[in-house]
């Protein structure tokens, strides 16, 4: 491919605009428009086809609805009540508050589908609780919150899995089920590391919850605890599609917060809508840019060219998965995860299919890789979010996060080379892949 070819110039334009600070979604749209102009494509037809594809894609609607559900949870008292319940479960152990951080991430994973929502919502509260009276250092609390938030999009529901399904036509329902075991495995390994740190660092033991208080705390948290049950029950029983379930999740979070907990004011309601709209617009622009650029990539037959190249390398399915893991882990250090998912991953999907790799298994491997990118330096987005929340240097957070990152990589290796850890549960629900 010539360095002066339309596609090369398009890629250069996208790169330069992104480096100059333009949002990656707008950069992709501008670079793709340059390509279409240079090849003499009819811009009107391209725009019409693109918009029709966006507005007729029912799956995309689930993204803003899950974001809205997470916002209703954060502005209400659902977070506080769930943290009290987590304290009942693991608070009495040494390092119990750190273990609570992990358990609350597992519970919130069944509600929001977004790592950033978990870190910015319940993670902010956990940071305050862990650093109160000097129980834990700010950097350790921030590192733990960052790595536990990663579990959110692995355990269902999951916004990244919705986007992967958009790119691959894999079943969203089976993708959601497939993420359960890997997410719980990752959380178990995190809890093991906390137990090791607690013994080494003599972490504090929280005051045990009196037995007489446990029923009251459980009852207070019960409506919030039922949210994942309602959400996932609607999906897996076939009552609703994942998109409809996302709408139910948002409505459920609002009703519980307003009617039962009475913790959302009109001002809070407006703030939730405003914040959700901004986040949804940002993701929507990124999806739009990715779809336009993927159209360009398709015209250039890039996926077929890469498939032929990898076929010529005579890679086995295992070799291909190793190569994809290495590429995605390296890209995760420097690129935003959604951009990788929408731009890079579609190029690998035809090769994965040609090698007979199950697309549900491949999707979970991809999502775990991308979640790892949120906590790997130098770009890890969650690291910077927690730096702002904790007010400590990012290098200290990275230092404390490294042992957890090692366990997460071990989890990635397990699910890559032992597909049954991913596919066992979906097959119990009737998956034939």
pLDDT in tens, 165-174: 888 888 888 9
Instruction: Provide DSSP, 164-195.
Output: HHHHH---HHHHHHHTHHHHHHHHHHHHHHHH
Distance (Å, whole) CA 14 – CA 33? 10
Whether 16 and 97 map to the same domain: the answer is no
Assign 297 a pLDDT band (cuts: 50, 70, 90): confident
Whether 153 and 52 map to the same domain: the answer is no
| Whole-prediction pTM | 0.79
Distance (Å, whole) CA 290 – CA 293? 5
Assign 93 a pLDDT band (cuts: 50, 70, 90): confident
Whether 63 and 24 map to the same domain: the answer is no
pLDDT on residue 122: 67
Residue 130 in this model has a pLDDT that exceeds 90: no
Distance (Å, whole) CA 83 – CA 132? 15
Assign 136 a pLDDT band (cuts: 50, 70, 90): confident
Whether 67 and 49 map to the same domain: the answer is no
Which of 49-53, 159-163, 270-274 has the least mean pLDDT?
49-53
Between residues 297 and 52, which one has the greater pLDDT? 297
Across the chain, mean pLDDT equals 82
Which of 8-12, 76-80, 113-117, 423-427 has the least mean pLDDT?
113-117
Distance (Å, whole) CA 383 – CA 117? 14
Instruction: Provide DSSP, 85-117.
Output: HHHHHHTTSBTHHHHHHHHHHHHHHTT---HHH
Between residues 58 and 157, which one has the greater pLDDT? 157
Q: What range does the domain containing 132 cover?
A: 57-428
21: left (phi over 0), alpha (psi -120 to 50) or beta: left
H or E stretch at 339: helix 337-339
pLDDT on residue 357: 93
CA 200 to chain centre: 31
SS3 (DSSP) at 205: strand
Contact at 8 Å (CB) between 144 and 123?
no
- Quick check: is 433 in a domain? no
Contact at 8 Å (CB) between 257 and 71?
no
Residue 389 in this model has a pLDDT that exceeds 80: no
pLDDT on residue 278: 84
Structure tokens at 219: 């009852």
Indicate the residue among 40, 56, 72 that finishes a domain: 56
Residue with tokens 């790169």: 15
Assign 408 a pLDDT band (cuts: 50, 70, 90): very high
pLDDT on residue 347: 84
Whether 230 and 144 map to the same domain: the answer is yes
- Quick check: is 357 in a domain? yes
156: left (phi over 0), alpha (psi -120 to 50) or beta: beta
Assign 110 a pLDDT band (cuts: 50, 70, 90): low
Whether 173 and 110 map to the same domain: the answer is yes
Which residue in 224, 230, 231 sits closest to 158, CA to CA? 231
Distance (Å, whole) CA 9 – CA 3? 7
pLDDT on residue 162: 86
Assign 421 a pLDDT band (cuts: 50, 70, 90): very high
Whether 21 and 137 map to the same domain: the answer is no
- Quick check: is 237 in a domain? yes
Contact at 8 Å (CB) between 138 and 392?
yes
Whether 43 and 91 map to the same domain: the answer is no
CA distances from 214 to 106, 179, 180, 340 (A): 20, 31, 27, 44
How many structural domains comprise the chain?
2
Indicate the residue among 56, 82, 99 that finishes a domain: 56
pLDDT on residue 57: 63
Residue with tokens 């597909």: 419
Whether 24 and 153 map to the same domain: the answer is no
pLDDT on residue 196: 92
- In this structure, the chain runs to a length of 433
Residue 193 in this model has a pLDDT that exceeds 90: yes
Whether 8 and 150 map to the same domain: the answer is no
Q: Which backbone phi and psi does 205 adopt, to 5 degrees?
A: -105, 125
Whether 42 and 100 map to the same domain: the answer is no
Burial class (CB in 10 A: 0-12, 13-18, 19+), 291: buried
pLDDT on residue 420: 94
Whether 317 and 402 map to the same domain: the answer is yes
């Amino acid at each position: 491919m010539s360095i002066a070819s339309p596609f090369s110039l398009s890629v250069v334009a996208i790169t330069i605009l992104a480096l100059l600070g333009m949002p990656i979604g707008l950069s992709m749209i501008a670079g793709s428009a340059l390509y279409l102009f240079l090849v003499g494509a009819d811009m009107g037809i391209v725009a019409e086809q693109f918009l029709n594809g966006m507005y007729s894609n029912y799956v995309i609607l689930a993204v803003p609805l899950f974001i809205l559900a997470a916002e209703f949870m954060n502005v209400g008292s659902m977070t506080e009540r769930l943290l009290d319940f987590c304290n009942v479960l693991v608070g009495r152990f040494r390092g119990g508050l750190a273990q609570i951080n992990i358990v609350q991430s597992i519970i919130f994973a069944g509600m929001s589908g977004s790592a950033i929502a978990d870190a910015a919502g319940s993670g902010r509260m956990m940071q305050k609780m862990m650093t109160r009276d000097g129980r834990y250092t700010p950097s350790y609390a921030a590192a733990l919150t960052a790595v536990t938030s990663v579990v959110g999009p692995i355990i269902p529901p999951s916004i990244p899995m919705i986007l992967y399904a958009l790119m691959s036509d894999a079943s969203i329902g089976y993708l959601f089920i497939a993420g359960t075991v890997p997410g719980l495995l990752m959380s178990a390994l995190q809890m093991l590391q906390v137990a090791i740190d607690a013994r080494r660092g003599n972490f504090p033991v929280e005051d045990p919850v009196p037995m007489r208080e446990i029923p009251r705390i459980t009852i207070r948290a019960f409506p919030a605890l039922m949210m994942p049950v309602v959400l996932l029950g609607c999906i897996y029983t076939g009552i609703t599609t994942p998109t409809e379930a996302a709408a139910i999740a948002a409505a459920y979070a609002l009703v519980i917060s307003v009617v039962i907990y009475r913790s959302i004011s009109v001002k809070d309601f407006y703030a939730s809508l405003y914040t959700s709209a901004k986040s949804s617009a940002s993701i929507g622009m990124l999806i739009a840019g990715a779809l336009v650029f993927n159209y360009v990539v398709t015209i250039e037959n890039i996926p077929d060219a890469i498939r032929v190249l990898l076929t010529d390398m005579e890679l086995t399915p295992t070799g291909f998965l190793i190569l994809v893991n290495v590429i995605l882990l390296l890209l995760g250090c420097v690129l935003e995860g959604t951009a990788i998912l929408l731009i890079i991953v579609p190029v690998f999907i035809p090769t994965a299919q040609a090698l007979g790799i199950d697309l549900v298994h491949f999707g979970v491997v991809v999502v775990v890789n991308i979640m790892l990118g949120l906590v790997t330096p130098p770009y890890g987005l969650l690291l910077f979010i927690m730096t702002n929340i904790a007010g400590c240097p990012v290098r200290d957070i990275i230092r404390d996060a490294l042992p957890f990152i090692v366990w997460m990589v071990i989890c990635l290796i397990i699910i890559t080379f032992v597909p049954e850890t991913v596919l066992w549960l979906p097959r119990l629900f009737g998956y034939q892949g």
